[in-house]
């Protein structure tokens, strides 16, 4: 049993030695209360903050509420005013912190009041609850106190807007990819082909109507006999002009077709006047 005793003695020694070696700051009689404006005295939340501990439930603070914390700062269990008695609020998300000094009386009694107006916008826009810590420290060798006291949650009404804030800092910007206009679309090929077929169907209709009306080429041999060269050249040059237009459509440029059309046009003019003269001769002869 001796070793058991010696360990007990050692641990007792150790536990008593620590506070002797370094005195420390603390507090007593700490209460946090929330007063709603217009509500009677005593209404609203009021809770005792345990020394060295935190409240388990968050403290709600509404827009019209005032948070009030009262405590007595102590150095080694005896009431004494400290140089720093702060309520430290820290946003666990961003790590942003702000402290509110208590007003301290000579006997260590300290109080702080806090409303929404005192909080910076950055805290008001936080959706989660904010960590509230109590800091008590002063000059000298006493160990300063820094422990969580409670969680502060902003009780925001459903119709109250969440404030937003904007900071402009140099940094990367979101990527932008240009949205292109849609390419031109053609209708379904079936529809196109149907209409092409309708256009081309005019040919057989035209031929049929002509045949019905008695169109013929009976004078071809007569004309060829009387003026073979002008007729051949006239028809040939007409075909050539259409051929040049086809080339212009597919590959030639305007300045390529102008001389060609001019040359063929002269042939058409000269041979056309002869050929049409022959046609006139047939008419004068009463053949047409």
Partner 1 sequence: MRWCPSLLLFGFLAAVNALSSSGNRLLVVLEDAEEKGSYSTLWGDLEGRGYNLIFESPKNEQLSLFELGDRAYDHILLLPPKSKGFGPSLSPKNLVDFMNSDGNVLLALSGKSTTPSAISSLLLEFDLHLSTDRSSVVVDHFNYDTLSASDKHDVLLLPRPGSLRPDTKNFFGGEGVLAFPSANPHTLGDNSLLAPILRAPTTAYSYNPKEDSNSVEEVFATGSQLALVSAMQARNSARFTLLGSVESLQDKWFSATVKAPGGNQAETANRDFAKQLTAWTFKETGVLKVGKIEHHLAKDDITVEDLNPSIYRIKNETVFSIEVSEYNYDRFIPFTVPTNDALQLEFTMLSPFHRLTLHPTATTANSTIYNTAFTVPDQHGIFSFRVNYKRPFLTYLEEKHEVTVRHYAHNEYPRSWKISGGWVWIAGLWSVVGGFLAFVFVWLYSVPASSVAKGKSKKMQ
Out of 184, 254, 262, 285, the only residue in the binding site for partner 1 (CB under 8 A) is 184
Q: Is there binding between residue 97 and partner 1 (CB under 8 A)?
A: yes
3 state DSSP class of 40: coil
34: closest CA among 63, 55, 65? 65
Residues 137, 84: contact at Cβ < 8 Å? yes
- Beta-carbon contacts of residue 234 (< 8 Å; ≥ 6 apart): 268, 271, 272, 274, 275
Give CA torsion, residues 19, 20, 26, 29, to 10 deg: 90
- Interface with partner 1, residue 103, by CB under 8 A: yes
Interaction residues for partner 1, span 30-69 (CB under 8 A): none
Applying the rule CB under 8 A, the residues between 154 and 183 that interact with partner 1 are 167-178, 180-181
Number of chain residues interacting with partner 1 (CB under 8 A): 77
| Of 55, 142, 67, nearest in space to 102 by CA | 67
What's the closest the beta carbon of residue 287 comes to partner 1, in angstroms?
A: 7
Closest contact distance (angstroms) between CB of 189 and partner 1 is: 5
Measured from the CB atom, the residue of 56 and 253 that comes closer to partner 1 is 253
Among 15, 141, 157, 159, binds partner 1 (CB under 8 A): 141
Applying CB under 8 A, among 63, 99, 115, 153 the residue interacting with partner 1 is 99
Q: How far apart are CA 130 and CA 154, in angstroms?
A: 8
C-alpha 202/C-alpha 162 separation (Å) is: 73
- Helix or strand holding residue 260 (H, E): helix 254-284
Minimum Å gap between C-beta 141 and partner 1 is 6
Q: Toward partner 1, which CB reaches closer, 38 or 106?
A: 106
118 three-class SS: helix
Q: Looking at 38, 42, 106, 259, which residue binds partner 1 (CB under 8 A)?
A: 106
Rounded to an integer, what distance in angstroms lies between the CA atom of residue 221 and that of residue 207?
21
Strand partners, 87: 100, 134
Could you tell me which stretch among 55-63, 81-89, 150-158, 259-267 binds partner 1 (CB under 8 A)?
Answer: 81-89
The answer to whether 144 contacts partner 1 (rule: CB under 8 A) is yes
Nearest distance from C-beta of residue 217 to partner 1, angstroms = 4
- For 40-55, give one letter per residue: b (16+ CB within 10 A) or e: eeeebeeeebebeeeb
Q: Which stretch binds partner 1 (CB under 8 A): 11-19, 41-49, 59-67, 100-108?
A: 100-108
Sequence-separated (6 or more) residues with CB below 8 Å from residue 206: none
Residues 200-239 that bind partner 1 (CB under 8 A): 200, 202-203, 206-207, 210, 213-220, 223, 231, 235, 238-239
Taking the alpha carbons at both ends of the chain, their separation in whole angstroms is 150
Residue with smaller CB distance to partner 1, 54 or 279:
279
Selected binder of partner 1 within 62, 72, 86, 152 (CB under 8 A): 86
98 binds partner 1 (CB under 8 A): yes
Residue 279 touching partner 1 (CB under 8 A)? yes
- Smallest gap from Cβ 184 to partner 1, in A, equals 8
């Amino acid at each position: 049993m001796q070793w058991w005793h010696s360990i007990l003695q050692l641990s007792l020694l150790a536990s008593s030695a620590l506070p002797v070696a370094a005195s420390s700051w603390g507090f007593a009689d700490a209460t946090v209360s929330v007063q709603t404006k217009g509500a009677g005295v005593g209404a609203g939340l009021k809770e005792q903050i345990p020394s060295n501990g935190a409240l388990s439930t968050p403290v709600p603070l509404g827009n019209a509420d005032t948070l009030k914390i009262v405590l007595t700062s102590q150095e080694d269990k005896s009431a004494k005013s400290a140089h720093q008695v702060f309520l430290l609020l820290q946003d666990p998300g961003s790590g942003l912190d702000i402290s509110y000094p208590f007003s301290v009386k000579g006997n260590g009694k300290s109080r702080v009041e806090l409303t929404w107006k005192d909080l910076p916008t950055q805290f008001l826009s936080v959706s989660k609850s904010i960590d509230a810590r109590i800091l008590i420290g002063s000059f000298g060798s006493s160990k300063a106190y820094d422990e969580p006291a409670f969680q502060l949650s902003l009780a925001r009404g459903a119709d109250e807007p969440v404030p937003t804030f904007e900071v402009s800092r140099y940094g990367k910007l979101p990527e932008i990819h240009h949205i292109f206009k849609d390419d031109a679309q053609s209708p379904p090929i079936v529809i196109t082909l149907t209409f092409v077929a309708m256009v081309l169907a005019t040919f057989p209709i035209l031929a049929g109507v002509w045949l019905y009306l008695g169109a013929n080429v009976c004078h071809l041999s007569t004309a060829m006999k009387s003026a073979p060269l002008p007729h051949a050249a006239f028809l040939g040059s007409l075909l050539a002009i259409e051929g040049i237009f086809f080339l212009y459509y597919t590959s030639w440029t305007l300045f390529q077709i102008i001389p060609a059309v001019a040359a063929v046009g002269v042939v058409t003019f000269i041979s056309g006047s002869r050929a049409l003269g022959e046609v006139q001769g047939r008419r004068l002869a009463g053949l047409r």
